[in-house]
Structure 1
Amino acid sequence: MTAPNLRDRYLQDSINTASPAKLLTMLYDRLILDLTHGEDALVKGDLATANDKLNHAQEIILELRVTLDVNAWEGAPGLANLYGYLLSELIGANIAKSPERVAVCRQLLEPLRDAWREAAVASAAG
């Protein structure tokens, strides 16, 4: 088996065995990574990479939005609205080639990612 195949198998096994809380934190980690890489690519003028990363970030946000149960807790509708705003901003950032707009989205998501990570750790602990 080749190294890329082993990596893909490891990643798939990690996803298949992860708890829902771990999956959520994995999605947020990848989302932040995509935004960071997309922002950097825009700064460097690498529009193809920026487009790829920003489109992937949008796909993650769509997945987060679709799987969000807005009736599960009182903050869920606000989170759904935030996801909608982020999608609009990332589409606009991609069209306008604006690393600043991507940075704003990333800065909004980083504390949210950290909060979900803390909740996952607390949930796992007991």
Structure 2
Amino acid sequence: MNAVVRAQRQYQTDAVMSATPERLLTMLYDRLLLDVERAEAAQKAENWPVANDNLQHAQSIIAELMSSLTDDWEGSDGLRAVYAYLTQTLITANVTRDAGLSHECVEIITPLRDAWHAAAASLTATHASANA
């Protein structure tokens, strides 16, 4: 492994380890969307190994997001159902090699990602004004 690759990996590790909880959540959503978009493109190109890798990684991210839900938040049940649907749809997209199903997941993930980014930005702004 060359020095540039090592430096990039160290930077990524440091970014994750020093991130706030809201930043970690938005990072997961960003990567989830990227994985599913890459999988869709790979499916359209009939590059099945790349599609498979990205779809499986996306499923791992959803599992992580699902495990972070707590029952004391009233939105947990609804979001848990969305995550379950996304997981099942990604599995089906992978098994059937259906780019349309991957695209359906992109359309579900995108507004969720945007909403979490807006919430994180709002929380950051609230913290900034409280500390000023």
Residues 1:48 and 2:59 aligned together: no
In the alignment, the residues of structure 2 paired with residue 58 and residue 105 of structure 1 have an alpha-carbon distance, to the nearest angstrom, of: 11
Q: 1:76-91 maps to which residues of 2 (within 5 A)? A: 76-91=76-91
Unmatched tracts of structure 1, length 5 or more = none
SS in structure 2 of the partner of residue 68 of structure 1 = coil
Residues 1:96 and 2:85 aligned together: no
Q: Name the amino acid aligned to 2:60.
A: E
Output the TM-score relative to the length of structure 1: 0.97
Identical aligned pairs, as a percentage?
A: 40
Q: Look up the match of 1:7.
A: 8
CA deviation after TM superposition for structure 1 residue 81, in Å: 0.6
- Deviation digits for residues 28-86 of structure 1 (CA, Å, limit 9, x no counterpart): 000000000000000000000000000000000000001111322x2210000110010
Residues 1:58 and 2:51 aligned together: no
Q: Look up the match of 1:108.
A: 108
Structure of greater Rg: 2
Alpha carbons 1:61, 1:87 under 8 Å: kept: yes
Q: Look up the match of 1:30.
A: 31
In the alignment, the residues of structure 2 paired with residue 6 and residue 30 of structure 1 have an alpha-carbon distance, to the nearest angstrom, of: 20
Residues 1:118 and 2:118 aligned together: yes
SS in structure 1 of the partner of residue 72 of structure 2 = coil
RMSD across aligned C-alpha pairs, in angstroms?
0.8
Unmatched tracts of structure 2, length 5 or more = 127-132
In the alignment, the residues of structure 1 paired with residue 71 and residue 31 of structure 2 have an alpha-carbon distance, to the nearest angstrom, of: 23
The count of aligned residue pairs is 125
In the alignment, the residues of structure 1 paired with residue 60 and residue 102 of structure 2 have an alpha-carbon distance, to the nearest angstrom, of: 15
CA deviation after TM superposition for structure 1 residue 26, in Å: 0.3
